[in-house]
Structure 1
Amino acid sequence: MTSALEKRRKLRGYLVAAVMFLCACDTWQGHAFAQQLLTKGELVKVRTKDIETFRIGHEDIEFGKLTFLGGLELLASDRKIGGLSGLISLDGGDRFLAVTDNGHWVTGAIEQAPNGRPLDIKDVSYAQLLGHDGKTLTARWGHDTEALTLSETGLYVTAETRNAIYHYPWPIATGKEQMIGEVALVDEIRSLPRNAGLESLATPPEDGPLAGKLIAIAESSPSDFQDLKGYIIGPEGTERFSINRENRFDATDAAFLPNGDLVLMERRFNLRDLIGLRLRRFEAASILPGAKLEGEILLEADYGYQIDNMEALSIHQNDKGETILTLLSDNNRSLLQRTVFLRFRLDE
């Protein structure tokens, strides 16, 4: 017969376990550590300019299923804040962690309106990504970092030139955290062309059929007649799928919606077309080994819209349960380009 004391001990144990579980879940989502990112990073002054309308010269805010919430142009005092290529939203959209294409973490606080419209970006800091030996990725020539994603097992970052995926602990609290290691990749991925390697990386929802895996997508292909290559990477191996490529769009980032659908960001950036942006959505059930994905176009924009070299995409849900898409451009650390930060709400 169980005594009252034993019952109290068991109850106390259950409560402790429950609290630990909730903390673990909160940690993965980033809320518990959002205020602790890069506490030893280098602070940078950043000014912002409002982007009030998405379509230049027009006041419309609805673009198919997307509603434009607002945007900002970022003007940083340090060129290391340029080249932003990967992004995750944290703490309900109040903070972000980004990665640059020259091997830097960048984090900051986002002042936002109740509907998610970005009003200002503050407390911006950066730190260099470190290898497993403590040396910077720049010193190791592995710093062409293009995308990042957060999973229950940590942060994962792609390096396009090396066609590698780096594994980092979470959170990046000080900026001194060393790489845990690299994800084992098949030879086909390792041999992707130098400027057409892994550009997009996404973590599927943990309650779906792709749980525990990573989705990686190559940036480009030799022509529109050849599909973009996609990979489902898991502990048991790598499986392949493809994405129809057309109109000279390249893949630059991807993120999953809460229901398991995948959103792919695509970009055009050439003398023929100038600049272009496209967002495509692929149903969760269609992401299968051997599949060829076509997708639904959510958004397409050209130089008549407030875009630049769009390279980073993140998705989060706010307190109302609304799905918010955040888009970020890579200015290539050039005075001729801009870093734009855009937000849309997905309306089903």
Structure 2
Amino acid sequence: MARGRFRHILQPAAVLAAIAAVLAAPATGVAGELLSQGQPVSVRAKVIETFRIGHEDRQFGKLTFLGGLELLASDREIGGLSGLVTLEEGNAFLAVTDHGHWVSGRIAQTPDGAPLDISGVRMAPLLGADGKTLKARWGHDTEALALAGSDLYVTAETKNAIYRYPWPLTTGRERMLGDVALAEDIRALPRNAGLEALAVAPGDSSLAGKLIAVAETSASDGDDLYGYIIGPDGTDRFRIRRRDGFAATDAAYLPGGDLLLLERRFTLLDLIGLRLRRFPGESIRPDALLEGELLLEADFGYQIDNMEALAVHRNEAGETILTLISDDNRSFLQRTILLRFRLED
């Protein structure tokens, strides 16, 4: 694999700002072409009308619940959705599974963004630079996606690697361009507690174009989550205060420059939990310890499962829309759920 290719896009500030500006622009005209050589998969969708079970309320702090879908696929490999990018103002998506597959499709939605159905789903394996699948070489366990201009980044938790692919994935047969050179302490993270969340800093940030990665968990509940600022000049580190046994599962930047962190918990005592925190963009800096603003917390009394993927887009009206997807671990005891919220500030 071609290490060091990260420098191809992570150049000084002016170039980084231009790349991040491309990232912020709507991705249009590509979703209908994604994974054209991929395998079509039949997916049925059941509408989720309320977020809190047995209640009709729509407002949860600064978030308005728009709606959701429970997805039932004909191929079990569609399960395990762990990373997500929304496209064309929420009308389309690209996801990655933790078994090393791309998944693309279209989302029928109301004018305000409530999901109604899913169609045109295709699946294709992630390929290495040599054309072999990542699953064949045990380089999968792919967990997060981040789109930056003409590059798509994918984390692989077990390998503690970040792979770079060309964007758009027109055929689904595109090969890996290389992997990002990472510091030794990142490579040494525990196999099942490695890089889980990934985002690219926006163009008007002091970190413009750099990758922001967060490890899934820590040695104990009392230890902080590890965060990394990865760029051509090396890696800086920060920490995120860990609370109540929650682990990081994904991250995404808001249009205004703040960072969202999706977290989940599963214990025999508390069962399943979801948490969403917001961090001011300027607070993400070397050696910082972040607390964040709690935007949402939910337990088994809400329509959630093992929530692992987060994407942010703006709709035609300029509103900020959050899309969350669960990883069902390909288990009949769990569900694949897609949820939509509107952020009100």
- TM-score, reference length from structure 1: 0.92
1:94 to 88, 91, 94: 91
Q: Which residue of 2 aligns with 1:337?
A: 334
1:170 and 1:245 mapped to 2: Cα distance?
34
1:169 to 143, 166, 173: 166
Q: Say if 2:47 is the partner of 1:47.
A: no
Gaps of 5+ in 2: 1-17
Q: Which residue of 1 aligns with 2:201?
A: 204
Q: How much does 1:33 deviate?
A: 1.3
The 3-state SS of whatever aligns with 1:132 is: coil
Q: Greater Rg, structure 1 or structure 2?
A: 1
Q: Which residue of 2 aligns with 1:136?
A: 133
Q: Check the 8 A contact 1:30/1:171 in 2, yes or no.
A: no
Q: How much does 1:25 deviate?
A: 4.3
Q: Check the 8 A contact 2:151/2:167 in 1, yes or no.
A: yes
Counterpart code for 2:149: E
The 3-state SS of whatever aligns with 1:38 is: coil
Q: Say if 2:284 is the partner of 1:287.
A: yes
1:29 and 1:86 mapped to 2: Cα distance?
19
Bigger drift between 205-214 and 258-267 goes to: 205-214
The 3-state SS of whatever aligns with 2:186 is: helix
Q: Say if 2:321 is the partner of 1:324.
A: yes
1:321 and 1:169 mapped to 2: Cα distance?
28
Bigger drift between 24-33 and 134-143 goes to: 24-33
Q: Which residue of 2 aligns with 1:299?
A: 296
Residue 103 to residue 28, structure 1, CA distance change in 2 (3 Å):
farther
2:254 and 2:23 mapped to 1: Cα distance?
18
Q: How much does 1:324 deviate?
A: 0.2
1:114 to 104, 111, 114: 111
Bigger drift between 269-278 and 291-300 goes to: 269-278
Relative contact order higher in (CA < 8 Å, ≥ 6 apart): 2
Q: Which residue of 2 aligns with 1:148?
A: 145
2:116 and 2:268 mapped to 1: Cα distance?
33
Q: Check the 8 A contact 2:81/2:327 in 1, yes or no.
A: yes
- TM-score, reference length from structure 2: 0.93
Q: Which residue of 2 aligns with 1:187?
A: 184
Q: Which residue of 2 aligns with 1:263?
A: 260
Q: CA RMSD in A?
A: 1.4
2:249 and 2:302 mapped to 1: Cα distance?
18
2:126 and 2:140 mapped to 1: Cα distance?
8
Aligned residue pair count: 326
The 3-state SS of whatever aligns with 2:294 is: strand
Report runs of 4+ in structure 1 exceeding 2 Å deviation: 24-30
Counterpart code for 1:317: R
Counterpart code for 1:312: A
Q: Which residue of 2 aligns with 1:70?
A: 67
Q: Which residue of 2 aligns with 1:254?
A: 251
Q: Check the 8 A contact 2:23/2:148 in 1, yes or no.
A: no
Residue by residue over 1:66-122, the C-alpha shift from the partner in whole angstroms, topping out at 9 and shown as x without a partner, is: 000000000000001000000000011000000000000000000000000000000
Q: Say if 2:79 is the partner of 1:82.
A: yes
Residue by residue over 1:108-137, the C-alpha shift from the partner in whole angstroms, topping out at 9 and shown as x without a partner, is: 000000000000000001000000000000
